[in-house]
Amino acid sequence: MNCRASWLKQAKVKELLSRHTTFKIGGPAEFWFEPKNPAELSRLIKIAGNKNIPFFVIGAGSNILAPDSGLKGIVIRLNKDYFKKTEFRKGKIFCGAGVMLGRLLSCARNFGLGGAEFLSGIPGTVGGALTMNAGVNESVEVSGCQSVREKTKQKTKSIGDLVESVLVMDYDGGISRLRKSGLEFSYRSSNLSNYIILSAVLKLTKKSKEEISADIAQYLARRRQTQDITLPSAGCIFKNPPNQSSGRLIDLCGLKGVSLGGAVISTKHANFILNKGKADARDVLGLIDLVRKKVKKKFGIKLETEIKIWP
Ligand code: EPU
């Protein structure tokens, strides 16, 4: 049996991406593959490279809009045990790319390690969170300013702040460890998007379990209070422009509640698009386009999507 046949045998064919995205949107992936370990992943990446087969890596699918027509190529999910390990040593946590952030937080709490509580309620994996430098963006109201442009200042807390090193695979299947000095994190972006993240070492700080629990509860409560988490979505659709909130700008355009097909702009947080049940990617793209046009016209600001629109 040649190598290609061997991975093909393990891959699922025509796996619906709507089953793997929090938006519950997306047609079939030609192949769906969950490697058991880095060696298996490396073999696959090399074959894909040699045969010019496109591949896509998916985490928890919480920041992706997948096309209705599906994807040609291989969608890879690091979901097997090897990629879901966590280990604590000397205030550091060694975690696989496939670990869900919620699990990371509860393990850290059990070890009395804090500092990552701001990630509470983000429905992502460590790998996905690192790639997009997930975090919270705490807007601080600036009093006395009249212009919408000056109304808020933003304080961000992102997973990149916690990173010591990341083990990555390049697109030739080679593995290397990137230390802090080689890592670049900025608002919802990193230089890790050119790699497949295998695992990471995060540095946390000693904190009592009670204090960690209280902070997690506070972050979750704030999320429940301000964000629409009752229907499928991909979280915030647009990045915030500097010192601005996309939610506020979209709200000021009067777009809350506007719907297209099965998709609707949340009435609770205008930077959320919800799937009312039967939305497809076309509906969401239509709303994205409408929002961009209205915000550009009213404020002269070009919104940039935070979600990844595949392919
Ligand atoms: N606002 C409105 N109308 C709305 C939504 C918000 O006027 O429809 C106002 C709020 O009242 C507030 C300001 O806009 O004064 C900012 O809103 P919020 O505090 O909800 O924060 P955000 O900037 O919209 C950011 C992140 C969220 C993160 C929260 C909380 C981005 C794009 N969004 O939202 O992240 O959870 O801060 O820290 O950076 C995500 O990345 O998917 C995401 C949801």
* 165-183: pLDDT as tens digits: 999 999 999 999 999 999 9
Q: What is the reported pLDDT for 7?
A: 74
Q: Whose CA is nearest to atom 36 of ligand 1?
A: 136
**Among 191, 222, 187, which Cα is nearest to 304's?**
187
201: β partners:
94, 165
pLDDT tens string 275-288 = 999 999 999 999 99
Q: What is the reported pLDDT for 151?
A: 53
pLDDT tens string 207-265 = 999 999 999 999 999 999 999 999 999 999 999 999 999 999 999 999 999 999 999 99
Strand ordering across the sheet containing 163-169: 86-89, 92-96, 196-203, 163-169, 175-179
What's the 101 CA to ligand 1 centre distance in angstroms?
Answer: 20
Give yes or no for residue 154 having a pLDDT over 50. Answer: yes
Distance CA 289, CA 279 (A): 16
> Which atom of ligand 1 lies nearest, measured to the CA of 226?
20
Q: What is the reported pLDDT for 145?
A: 43
pLDDT-derived band at 206, boundaries 50, 70, 90: very high
pLDDT-derived band at 141, boundaries 50, 70, 90: low
Most ligand 1 atoms within 8 A of CB, residue of 62, 137, 238 to mutate: 137
Q: What is the reported pLDDT for 89?
A: 87
Distance CA 248, CA 83 (A): 38
Largest CA distance in the chain: 72
What's the 240 CA to ligand 1 centre distance in angstroms?
Answer: 8
Q: Whose CA is nearest to atom 38 of ligand 1?
A: 136
pLDDT tens string 70-108 = 999 999 999 999 999 999 988 899 999 999 999 999 999
